[in-house]
């Protein structure tokens, strides 16, 4: 299952809720888009949360959103970058998708 988060983890509990529900069982994927990409920054509280979730869930971030926000040099190791085509591939590869609006 693919989970998509588009909210900053610093002003919204969406990422926490997503990880709470999604992490158990493994095999899933998390795609960070829009302000959600801030969760992929290392040495941040949210980044630490994402890093510890990586054992349970594969984490991706949308490169155009990462680059737009200037965080490309501070991205957490292990987060895979995807472009818009990669976004589509992720949606196709997974049986279902939850957008955590």
> Which residues in this chain contact other proteins in the complex, by CB under 8 A?
1, 13-14, 17, 20-25, 28, 95-101
Q: Which is nearer to other proteins, 36 or 41 (CB)?
A: 36
- The least distance separating other proteins from the CB of residue 65, rounded to whole angstroms, comes to 19
**Rounded (5°) CA angle 31-35-40:** 55
Task: Compare residues 38 and 100 and give the one whose CB is closer to other proteins.
Answer: 100
**Could you give phi then psi for residue 6, rounded to 5 degrees?**
-120, 15
Minimal distance in Å, beta carbon 17 to other proteins? Answer: 5
Minimum Å gap between C-beta 37 and other proteins is 19
In sequence order, what E strands does 1-101 have?
2-5, 28-32, 57-62, 80-82, 97-100
């Amino acid at each position: 299952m693919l989970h998509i988060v588009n909210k900053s983890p610093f002003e919204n509990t969406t990422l926490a809720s997503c990880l709470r529900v999604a992490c158990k069982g493994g095999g899933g994927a998390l795609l960070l888009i829009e302000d959600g990409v801030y969760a992929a920054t290392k040495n941040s509280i949210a980044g630490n949360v994402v890093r510890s979730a990586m054992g349970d869930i594969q984490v991706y971030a949308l490169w155009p959103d990462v680059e737009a926000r200037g965080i490309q040099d501070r991205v957490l190791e292990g987060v895979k970058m995807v472009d818009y085509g990669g976004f589509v591939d992720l949606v196709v590869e997974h049986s279902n998708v939850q957008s955590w609006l």
